[in-house]
């Protein structure tokens, strides 16, 4: 385990370094966007003195490197800063308003991120087993009518835009056949069953998007192994074809399958923006879009950093699981 531990530590160090570089890119890109929050809030008739006062209160007049170090230091201590929009609201509420309460970015992010994780979890619970089953059956009946039909269906779903699939599902499952609600307005005090019911349509949309990639990778990994000598020996012994695939081929195809599953799980967290907007789902993607409209820079930066961290973490997890599942990677020559 010493070599495995060293490899894992190396991956962790690379992940931390990547996240640091990404934070620089996020901060630089967001702060280079056109527009000014103070001017947008006060309108075109605002006096220069009023604009300057708001910029001073929010620290927008500080040098970029000072603001970046302050932002990075706050993140390391769990403080994502104060929402510009909320801070402006509290400033209007009174001079003694508490900017560390309702205006905290973390207070907005935590419930939204929990909702996004719930949506991603429901989608993964449907998509991952479905993809593995379809991929195994497609490899078992390779080049058959079933294989071609599944490939056509999955390629059609992954080639369609997310909003198009979302509206198709709304039409058939919410309008013509009212099985699920068209709006996914979930709340914290909802029961699990009701929350699951309102989350099902966006979860099905994400399932249609990610299933094809995982299914095709599972099929390709298994088909590539079917010509291996040990698979031929298992066939010559008269073993059931399904048992040959599940018992002998699938374990050796885990590394690429784990990678593609992890990438698609990362997509379920980072790629939910369009789906959440269509279904008005109160997740971090919806918060991100709303904050961009308001030019709420701290919230936009925090959302981008969470997306990047989730993507890097799941890729790191995929690397570690691939190493643990493959003896050739655990014991390189």
pLDDT digits (tens, 9 = 90+) for 70-113: 888 888 887 787 777 765 554 444 444 444 444 688 888 888 99
Residue 102 · residue 264 · CB < 8 Å: no
| Residue 300, in any domain of the structure | no
* Structural domain span for residue 118: 110-294
Those residues whose C-beta lies under 8 Å from the C-beta of residue 331, and which sit 6 or more positions away, are 3
pLDDT at 96: 43
Residue 233, domain member (yes or no): yes
As given in the structure block, the two tokens for residue 290 are 């709303």
For the chain, residues with pLDDT lower than 50 are: 90-102
Look at residue 203 in the predicted model and tell me its pLDDT: 92
Is residue 257 domain-resident?
A: yes
The reply to whether 177 falls in a domain is yes
Q: Is residue 241 assigned to a domain?
A: yes
What pLDDT sits at residue 93? 45
Q: Establish if 279 belongs to a structural domain.
A: yes
**Region label for 43, one of left (φ > 0), alpha (ψ between -120 and 50) or beta (otherwise):** left
Please report the pLDDT score of residue 199 as a whole number. Answer: 92
Spatial separation of the C-alpha atoms in residues 305 and 293, rounded to whole Å: 18
Closest by CA to 82, choosing from 107, 64, 65, is 107
Establish if 211 belongs to a structural domain. yes
Determine the pLDDT at residue 94. 47
The rounded radius of gyration (Å) of the Cα atoms in the chain is 24
In this prediction the pTM is 0.82
Residue 42 inside a domain? The answer is no
For 190, residues 6+ apart whose C-beta sits below 8 A from its C-beta are 198
In 3-state terms, what secondary structure has residue 46?
A: coil
Domain holding 239: CATH number? 1.10.3720.10
**Number of domains observed in the structure of the chain:** 1
């Amino acid at each position: 385990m010493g070599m495995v531990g060293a490899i894992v530590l190396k991956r962790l160090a690379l992940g931390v370094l990547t996240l640091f570089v990404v934070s620089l890119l996020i901060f630089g890109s967001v702060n280079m966007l056109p527009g000014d929050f103070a001017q947008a809030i006060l309108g075109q008739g605002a006096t220069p003195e009023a604009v300057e006062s708001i910029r001073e209160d929010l620290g927008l007049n500080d040098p970029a490197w000072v603001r970046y170090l302050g932002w990075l230091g706050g993140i390391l201590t769990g403080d994502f800063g104060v929402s510009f929009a909320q801070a402006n609201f509290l400033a209007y509420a009174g001079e003694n308003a508490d900017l560390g309460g309702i205006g905290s970015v973390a207070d907005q992010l935590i419930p939204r991120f929990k909702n996004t994780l719930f949506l991603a979890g429901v989608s993964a619970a449907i998509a991952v087993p479905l993809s593995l089953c379809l991929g195994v059956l497609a490899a078992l009946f390779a080049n058959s009518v079933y294989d071609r039909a599944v490939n056509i269906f999955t390629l059609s779903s992954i080639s369609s835009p997310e909003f198009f699939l979302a509206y198709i599902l709304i039409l058939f499952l919410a309008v013509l056949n009212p099985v699920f609600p068209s709006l996914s307005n979930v709340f914290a005090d909802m029961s699990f069953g009701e929350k699951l019911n309102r989350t099902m349509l966006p979860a099905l949309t994400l399932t249609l998007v990610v299933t094809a990639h995982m299914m095709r990778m599972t099929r390709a990994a298994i088909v590539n192994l079917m010509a291996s000598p040990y698979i031929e020996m298992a066939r010559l012994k008269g073993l059931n074809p399904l048992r040959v695939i599940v018992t002998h081929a699938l374990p050796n195809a885990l590394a690429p399958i784990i990678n593609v599953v992890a990438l698609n799980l990362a997509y379920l967290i980072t790629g939910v923006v369009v789906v959440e907007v269509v279904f008005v789902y109160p997740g971090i993607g919806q918060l991100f879009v709303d904050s961009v409209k308001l030019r709420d820079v701290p919230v936009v930066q925090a959302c981008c950093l969470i997306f990047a961290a989730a993507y890097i973490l799941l890729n790191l997890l995929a690397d570690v699981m691939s190493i643990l599942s493959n003896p050739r990677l655990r014991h390189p020559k």
